C-alpha cells in the first residue's frame, strides 16, 4: 500500500512550517508519508525583513534562503505555479501538471490588490517585495524635507503593526538626520492597532506624540492622485511629498479560481473551519495561510500563521500514524515590533475559541516596550533565515 500523500501549497511561513513539522513528527512517530511542497519561487522569503532592507538595518541576502533546503529533511520541493484546486477529486493543477493528495495544506498568502483604488498602483512606494523595499530605501535616502504619509487603504492588512513601525522609524530617523519631515499615518480605525487592543492604540499614540507623528482616520479611501500628490477619502484630503503605501489584501488567484474556497461574506478571504483550520467542507484540506486568518478571527501576521500551520501538521501526522501528537493551537500569542529606531514593542494576546461565533477571540495587552525587544526581534528574524542556509 502506497504511503499517504501530503501536499503543501506555498513556500512562505505557513508552507515552510507545515512541511517541516510534518516531516519531523513523522520521523518521531516512525510514520511514513510522501511530503511535497509546491511553490513558484526558488526562495523562501522572510517578508517582514523587507522593511528592514528599506530602513537600512538588513541586507537583501539576509531576507531569503533556498527553498530546496527543505529536501534535506525529506520534503520534496517542486518549483511550479499553482493554478487551481479540485477538492472533490483531491487534485491540484499547476502550470506543469496535476498532483494528487490525501492531505492538502493551503498557505498561498494574499494577492496585493493595488488596483482596488484609482491611482494607488501608480503612486508612492512600499516594501512588500524585495525590489520595492530597495526602491523605498533609496527614496527615503533622497528625501530632503516635506510631508511623508503612510497610507493604509483598508483593514485588515498584512502585518497590522507595520504602518506604525514605519511611521515611528521614519520620523525618528529623519530627526536624527536633521531633515525637517512631517510624518502622518492615514488609516481607517480608531487608532493604531485598536482592532486588537485599546491599550495597544494608547501606547502607539504616545510614541506618535513623542515623535510628532499624526494619526488621521479616514472613513473610506476613494483615490490617490499621483500627479497632484493627494489622497482623497470620504472625509479627508491629504497632500504628500513622499507616499508609503500598504497593499489591500485580496484572495490569491488559485483560490479565487477554485470552487468552494472564497468566502461569500467577504470575497477577499478564503473559507475556514476556524477551530481546526480545516476547509468547511473538505476535512483533508487545511487552510493555514494569511488568506484564512481574518475569517478565523486572527490577525494577518506570521505568528498565528506559524501556529496554525504547526497545528495542521500535528493533526495530519496524528491521523496518519495514530500517535497522540496533537498539542493544539496555543493559548497565547506574542507579537513584537520596532518602536521607533532604538526600541521595541511586545504585545501578548490570550486566545479562546468562541463556539457560538465559530472563530477565535483575542484578549491583547502590552507586554513590554524597551530596547531589548528590538534586539530580540532582529535576532529572531535573522536566525529564521540562517537556519535554512
| DSSP one-letter string for 134-185 | HHHHHHHHH--SEEEEEE--SSS-SSTTHHHHHHHHHHHHHHHHT--EEEEE
Which residue positions in the chain have pLDDT lower than 70?
Answer: none
Q: What is the rounded radius of gyration, in angstroms, for the C-alpha atoms of the chain?
A: 21
Residue for grid cell 474556497: 261
Residue for grid cell 472625509: 235
pLDDT score at 12: 96
pTM for this model (two decimals):
0.96
pLDDT score at 2: 87
Kindly compute the dihedral angle of the four CA atoms of residues 157, 162, 167, 170, in this order, to the nearest 10 degrees: -130
pLDDT score at 323: 85
pLDDT score at 6: 98
Question: Alpha carbon 1 to chain centroid distance?
Answer: 39
- The β-bridge partners of 186 are 151, 216
pLDDT tens digits, one per residue of 180-206 = 999 999 999 999 999 999 999 999 999
Question: Alpha carbon 16 to chain centroid distance?
Answer: 14
- Those residues whose C-beta lies under 8 Å from the C-beta of residue 158, and which sit 6 or more positions away, are 110, 128, 246, 247, 249, 290, 300, 301
Residue for grid cell 492538502: 104
pLDDT score at 360: 97
| DSSP one-letter string for 282-310 | -TTEEE-SGGGHHHHT--SSHHHHHHHHH
pLDDT score at 75: 97
Q: How far is CA 316 from CA 153, 265, 271, 276, 356, in A?
A: 38, 29, 19, 11, 26
- The β-bridge partners of 366 are 347
Which phi and psi angles does 173 have, rounded to 5°? -65, -40
Cα atoms in the 13 Å half-sphere on the side-chain side of 78: 18
From the list 34, 24, 27, the residue with the least C-alpha distance to 76 is: 34
Domains parsed from the chain with CATH numbers? 5-110+251-327 (3.50.50.60), 114-247 (3.50.50.60)
Amino acid at each position: 500500500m502506497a504511503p499517504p500523500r501530503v501536499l503543501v501549497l506555498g513556500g512562505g511561513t505557513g508552507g515552510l512550517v507545515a512541511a517541516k513539522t510534518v516531516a519531523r513528527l513523522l520521523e518521531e512517530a516512525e510514520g511514513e508519508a510522501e511530503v511535497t511542497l509546491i511553490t513558484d519561487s526558488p526562495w523562501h522569503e522572510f517578508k517582514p525583513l523587507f522593511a528592514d532592507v528599506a530602513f537600512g538595518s538588513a541586507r537583501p541576502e539576509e531576507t531569503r534562503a533556498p527553498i530546496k533546503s527543505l529536501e534535506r529533511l525529506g520534503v520534496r520541493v517542486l518549483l511550479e505555479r499553482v493554478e487551481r484546486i479540485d477538492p472533490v477529486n483531491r487534485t491540484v493543477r499547476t502550470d506543469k501538471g496535476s498532483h494528487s493528495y490525501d492531505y492538502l495544506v493551503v498557505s498561498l498568502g494574499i494577492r496585493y490588490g493595488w488596483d482596488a483604488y484609482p491611482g494607488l498602483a501608480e503612486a508612492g512606494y512600499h516594501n512588500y517585495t524585495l525590489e520595492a523595499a530597495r526602491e523605498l530605501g533609496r527614496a527615503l535616502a533622497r528625501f530632503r524635507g516635506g510631508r511623508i504619509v503612510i497610507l493604509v487603504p483598508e483593514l485588515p492588512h498584512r502585518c497590522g503593526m507595520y504602518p506604525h513601525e514605519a511611521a515611528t522609524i521614519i520620523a525618528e530617523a529623519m530627526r536624527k538626520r536633521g531633515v525637517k519631515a512631517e510624518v502622518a499615518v492615514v488609516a481607517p480605525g480608531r487608532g493604531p492597532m485598536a482592532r486588537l487592543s485599546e491599550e495597544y492604540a494608547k501606547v502607539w499614540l504616545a510614541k506618535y506624540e513623542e515623535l510628532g507623528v499624526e494619526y488621521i482616520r479616514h472613513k473610506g479611501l476613494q483615490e490617490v492622485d499621483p500627479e497632484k500628490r493627494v489622497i482623497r477619502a470620504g472625509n479627508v484630503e491629504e497632500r504628500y511629498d513622499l507616499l508609503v503605501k500598504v497593499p489591500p489584501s485580496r484572495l490569491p488567484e488559485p483560490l479565487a479560481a477554485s470552487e468552494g474556497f472564497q468566502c461569500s461574506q467577504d470575497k477577499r478571504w478564503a473559507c475556514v473551519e476556524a477551530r481546526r483550520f480545516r476547509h468547511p467542507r473538505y476535512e483533508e484540506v487545511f487552510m493555514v495561510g494569511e488568506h484564512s486568518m481574518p475569517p478565523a478571527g486572527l490577525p494577518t501576521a506570521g505568528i498565528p500563521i506559524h501556529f496554525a500551520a504547526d497545528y495542521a501538521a500535528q493533526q495530519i501526522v496524528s491521523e496518519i500514524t495514530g500517535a497522540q501528537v496533537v498539542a493544539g493551537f496555543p493559548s497565547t500569542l506574542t507579537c513584537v515590533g520596532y518602536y521607533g529606531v532604538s526600541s521595541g514593542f511586545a504585545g501578548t494576546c490570550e486566545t479562546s475559541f468562541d463556539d457560538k461565533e465559530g472563530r477565535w477571540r483575542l484578549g491583547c495587552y502590552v507586554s513590554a516596550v524597551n530596547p531589548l525587544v528590538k534586539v530580540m526581534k532582529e535576532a529572531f528574524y535573522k536566525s529564521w533565515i540562517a537556519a535554512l542556509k
